[in-house]
Chains A and B, each alone.
Chain A
Amino acid sequence: MIAIAGDNIISSLGFTAEECYRAVASGQSGVRLHRSFMGLPEPVMASTIDRERLADSFAALSPRPDGYTALEKAAILSVSSAAAQAQVDLADASVLFIFSSTKGNVHLLDETEAGFSRSHLYLWHTARLIAEFFGNPNAPLVVSNACISGACAQLAALRELASGAYRHAVVVGAEVLSRFIVSGFQSLKALSPEPCRPFDVARAGLNLGEAAATLIYRRVDKGAEATAGVALLQGAIRNDANHISGPSRTGEGSYLALKALLQEVAPADIAFINAHGTATAYNDSMETAAITRAGLSAAAVNSLKGYFGHTLGAAGVLESVISARALAGETALATRGFERSEAEHPLSVTDKNMHAHQACCVKMLSGFGGGNAALLFKKFKPR
Chain B
Amino acid sequence: MEELILQLKQEIIRVLNLEDVTPAGIADSAPLFGEGLGLDSIDALELIVLMEKRYGIKLKDPAQGREIFTSIRVMAEYIHANRTK
Residue of B whose beta carbon sits closest to that of A282: B41
- Taking a contact as CB atoms under 8 Å apart, the answer to whether A187 and B40 are in contact is no
**Interface residue count on the B side (C-beta < 8 Å):** 6
B41 to chain A, nearest CB (A): 6
The interface residues of chain A, by DSSP majority, are classed as loop
Choose from B40, B45, B49, B62 the contact partner of A243 (Cβ within 8 Å).
Answer: B40
Residues of B contacting A224 in the complex (Cβ-Cβ under 8 angstroms): none
The reply to whether the CB of B24 lies closer than 8 angstroms to some CB of chain A is no
Q: Give bound CA distance, A246 to B62, whole Å.
A: 15
Residue of A whose beta carbon sits closest to that of B42: A245
B 38-61 contacts with A by CB, 8 A: 40-42, 45, 49
A 211-246 contacts with B by CB, 8 A: 243-246
Q: Give bound CA distance, A244 to B43, whole Å.
A: 12
Q: Give bound CA distance, A286 to B57, whole Å.
A: 32
- Taking a contact as CB atoms under 8 Å apart, the answer to whether B45 and A189 are in contact is yes
Q: Give bound CA distance, A351 to B49, whole Å.
A: 38
Q: Give 1 or 0 for each of B6-36: 1 = CB within 8 Å of chain A CB.
A: 0000000000000000000000000000000
- Taking a contact as CB atoms under 8 Å apart, the answer to whether A187 and B49 are in contact is yes
- Taking a contact as CB atoms under 8 Å apart, the answer to whether A246 and B41 are in contact is yes
B64 to chain A, nearest CB (A): 11
**Interface residue count on the A side (C-beta < 8 Å):** 7
Q: Give bound CA distance, A243 to B62, whole Å.
A: 19
Residues of B contacting A188 in the complex (Cβ-Cβ under 8 angstroms): 45
- Taking a contact as CB atoms under 8 Å apart, the answer to whether A189 and B49 are in contact is no
A209 to chain B, nearest CB (A): 23
- Taking a contact as CB atoms under 8 Å apart, the answer to whether A187 and B45 are in contact is yes
A 180-232 contacts with B by CB, 8 A: 187-189
Residue of A whose beta carbon sits closest to that of B44: A189
B42 to chain A, nearest CB (A): 6
Q: Give bound CA distance, A243 to B45, whole Å.
A: 15
B18 to chain A, nearest CB (A): 17
Residues of B contacting A245 in the complex (Cβ-Cβ under 8 angstroms): 41-42
Residues of B contacting A244 in the complex (Cβ-Cβ under 8 angstroms): 42
Q: Give bound CA distance, A244 to B45, whole Å.
A: 14
Q: Give bound CA distance, A243 to B40, whole Å.
A: 9
Q: Give bound CA distance, A246 to B42, whole Å.
A: 9
Q: Give bound CA distance, A245 to B49, whole Å.
A: 18
Q: Give bound CA distance, A246 to B39, whole Å.
A: 13
A204 to chain B, nearest CB (A): 11
Residues of A contacting B62 in the complex (Cβ-Cβ under 8 angstroms): 189
Q: Give bound CA distance, A245 to B43, whole Å.
A: 12
Residues of B contacting A243 in the complex (Cβ-Cβ under 8 angstroms): 40-41
B47 to chain A, nearest CB (A): 12
Residues of A contacting B41 in the complex (Cβ-Cβ under 8 angstroms): 243, 245-246
Q: Give bound CA distance, A189 to B66, whole Å.
A: 14
12 examples of A-B residue contacts, CB within 8 angstroms? A187-B45, A187-B49, A188-B45, A189-B45, A189-B62, A243-B40, A243-B41, A244-B42, A245-B41, A245-B42, A246-B40, A246-B41
Interface residues of B (CB under 8 A from A): 40-42, 45, 49, 62
Per CB-CB distance, the 7 closest pairs between chain A and chain B, nearest first, are A189-B62, A246-B41, A245-B42, A188-B45, A187-B45, A189-B45, A187-B49
Given A189-B62, A243-B40, A243-B41, 9 other A-B residues pairs in contact with their CB atoms under 8 A = A187-B45, A187-B49, A188-B45, A189-B45, A244-B42, A245-B41, A245-B42, A246-B40, A246-B41
